[in-house]
Structure 1
Amino acid sequence: MANFDFDQAEGLRRMLAGPRPRIVTFLCATPEDDKGAMLVNLGASLARAGNDVLIVDACARDYGVAQRLGLARGAGLLEVARQECGLNEVIHAAPQGFNVARMKRGAGADEARRLAKSFDVLVKQTGIVIVDGEFGAEDSFPVPIMDSAEIVVQVGTSAASITAAYSLIKRLSQTLGRRPFGILVTGATEAEAKVVYDNMCSAASRYLAVTLTSMGSVPADEYLQRAARLGRAVVDAFPLAGASVAFRRLAGRFALSGMPQLGGTTRFGS
């Protein structure tokens, strides 16, 4: 995993500010980058480290976490907003140690407001909320709080993925304004991840005036596929695999710190 540090001073400021809901939306640059598998393993790693984790599947088109885990049937947050069921009925325990809920977009302004209220109640009950999200043609998220919460873009090492990630960041910044975004490089060695991050960081700073923060990287590892076929997280099935080591390090840094707020710095560690 890439050894890129977060701004430690900002992390300290967050801890001193007291507890608050932690919401992180993950977006994927290309369909080839398997975001669902990555989130299952990240969620499992965070849960094994003692964190209370909820993954919200907000994918309308792509293959989301709920579908991957066979938890896509039944009601979701939209049905809670419509008062068709209770909040406890849409939260499902995954065998990997975290909880999963689904969220579809509301139809109309009133339904969208009620969905936002349901989501607000949900996140206050959870330590870390990870959103398996999309930023579609409408250039918006299902609930407004996701606009100001942390956003991480998963990118691979191919030219197509890097180009798509940059285009996505450009759309996000044009819609949400100047703010930092996280970058997670998957299927990459430390050296490859650093090259990808450096190039994207330079381009985003120069042409978009956008600050990027490295969330680290996860290497390509055959044990990821083996664990998926077993229906388990790689950290559980193959704890000594390179991907397991990477996910444990990612989960440790992810749980303790966050991305800099507007005006924060991004730096590399030794």
Structure 2
Amino acid sequence: MANFDFDQAEGLRRMLAGPKPRIITFLSATPDDDKGAMLVNLGASLARAGNDVVIVDACEQDYGVAQRLGVDRGASLLNVARQECGLNQVISQVPQGFNVVSMKRTRNAHASLDDTRRLAKTFDVLVKQSGIVIVDGEFDASDSFPIPIMGNSEIVVQVSTSATSITNAYALIKRLSQQLGRRPFGILVTGATEAEAKVVYDNMCAAASRYLAVHLTSMGSVPADEYLHRAARLGRAVVDAFPLAGASVAFRQLAGRFAMQRGRAGGSTHFGT
């Protein structure tokens, strides 16, 4: 049986002891709205804790965070890569306290390789001038990311307590491991109590270890909370609109662990073990 508390601390340590600046790619086995709410509130909580946060919307098929926040209508990192505009022109600061930028992968097969190379370089520039970079990602039908660095970043899979979500999360982890090789992945359980999250995590951890030889680490949990939906309708983060809500407490605790681990990470330039 996995040690949930240890793995949760270890998972956060792995995430924040990696190369500076930190890049965390989030994938989800939950509905798009759940993923968007989690990213917005996590970004807001980190920003309120004093972190410089940029969320990169790398979704093409999914309902990404830039679309959710209404900042997806302008130019993207791909336009910067093609030298059609400047980087500062595609970064939007949202009221929740963090910055958002769309990536926009190309669909032109002939230009794809060149565009991918340029896009990767542009992303590198963005990363170097940022603190924490959160990528709202998707693993497409060809089992690939828009740029290679997403596959080398910390990858966290969001899952809920439903059987469908757990099954889809496991399938996603299997695809990731087949494409990226043996490496750890983080698990964030949302819409769950700590006890429910522990059960989900323990079961997924055991299955991944036994059948895939893959190590999973816990990134914590966020409870189901009606105040998340109320805050979203107000266009605000729950930690700002309803600071005493259960979800607000969970996001503050998660952001606090991020900040604590960030301080301990110091000048580390490699992934933790």
TM-score w.r.t. the length of structure 1 is 0.90
Partner of 2:25: 25
Tell me, yes or no, if structure 1 residue 152 matches structure 2 residue 156.
yes
Task: Provide the identity percentage.
Answer: 77
Partner of 1:238: 242
**What is the CA-CA distance between 1:115 and the residue it aligns to?**
0.4
1:189-228 equivalences in 2 (<5 Å): 189-228=193-232
For residues 113 and 32 of structure 1, do their structure 2 counterparts lie closer, same or farther at Cα, with a shift above 3 Å needed? closer
Tell me, yes or no, if structure 1 residue 170 matches structure 2 residue 146.
no
**What is the CA-CA distance between 1:254 and the residue it aligns to?**
2.8
Partner of 1:38: 38
Tell me, yes or no, if structure 1 residue 122 matches structure 2 residue 126.
yes
Q: Is the 8 A contact 2:32 2:62 kept in 1?
A: no
Q: 2 CA distance for matches of 1:119 and 1:9?
A: 24
Q: 1 CA distance for matches of 2:141 and 2:102?
A: 20
Q: Is the 8 A contact 2:12 2:261 kept in 1?
A: no
Amino acid aligned to 2:159: V
Q: Is the 8 A contact 2:60 2:104 kept in 1?
A: yes
For residues 206 and 131 of structure 1, do their structure 2 counterparts lie closer, same or farther at Cα, with a shift above 3 Å needed? same
Q: 1:188 aligns with which of 185, 192, 198?
A: 192
Q: 1:250 aligns with which of 254, 262, 265?
A: 254
Q: Is the 8 A contact 1:52 1:98 kept in 2?
A: yes
Q: 1 CA distance for matches of 2:271 and 2:93?
A: 35
For residues 73 and 151 of structure 1, do their structure 2 counterparts lie closer, same or farther at Cα, with a shift above 3 Å needed? same
**What is the CA-CA distance between 1:92 and the residue it aligns to?**
0.4
CA RMSD of aligned residues (A): 2.2
Residue aligned with 1:70, SS: coil
Q: 2 CA distance for matches of 1:32 and 1:69?
A: 13
Q: Is the 8 A contact 1:55 1:129 kept in 2?
A: yes
Q: 2 CA distance for matches of 1:255 and 1:204?
A: 29
Q: 2 CA distance for matches of 1:55 and 1:9?
A: 18
**What is the CA-CA distance between 1:220 and the residue it aligns to?**
0.2
Q: Is the 8 A contact 2:160 2:166 kept in 1?
A: yes
TM-score w.r.t. the length of structure 2 is 0.89
Amino acid aligned to 1:130: I
**What is the CA-CA distance between 1:257 and the residue it aligns to?**
3.6
Q: 2 CA distance for matches of 1:155 and 1:138?
A: 22
1:44-193 equivalences in 2 (<5 Å): 44-106=44-106, 107=108, 108-193=112-197
Q: Is the 8 A contact 1:76 1:104 kept in 2?
A: yes
Partner of 2:266: none
Q: 1 CA distance for matches of 2:235 and 2:78?
A: 28
For residues 262 and 129 of structure 1, do their structure 2 counterparts lie closer, same or farther at Cα, with a shift above 3 Å needed? closer
Q: 2 CA distance for matches of 1:170 and 1:128?
A: 27
**What is the CA-CA distance between 1:21 and the residue it aligns to?**
1.3
Amino acid aligned to 1:14: A
Determine which structure has the larger helix proportion and give its number: 2
**What is the CA-CA distance between 1:31 and the residue it aligns to?**
2.7
Amino acid aligned to 2:212: L
**What is the CA-CA distance between 1:10 and the residue it aligns to?**
5.8
For residues 31 and 14 of structure 1, do their structure 2 counterparts lie closer, same or farther at Cα, with a shift above 3 Å needed? closer
For residues 142 and 237 of structure 1, do their structure 2 counterparts lie closer, same or farther at Cα, with a shift above 3 Å needed? same
Q: Is the 8 A contact 1:157 1:193 kept in 2?
A: yes
Q: 2 CA distance for matches of 1:9 and 1:167?
A: 23
Matched pairs, number? 258
**What is the CA-CA distance between 1:97 and the residue it aligns to?**
0.3
For residues 154 and 10 of structure 1, do their structure 2 counterparts lie closer, same or farther at Cα, with a shift above 3 Å needed? closer
Q: 1 CA distance for matches of 2:121 and 2:43?
A: 24
Partner of 2:267: none
Q: Is the 8 A contact 1:179 1:262 kept in 2?
A: no
- Describe the superposition over 1:210-249 as per-residue Cα deviations: whole angstroms up to 9, x where unpaired: 0001000000001001101111000000001000000011
Q: Is the 8 A contact 1:33 1:154 kept in 2?
A: no
Partner of 1:268: none
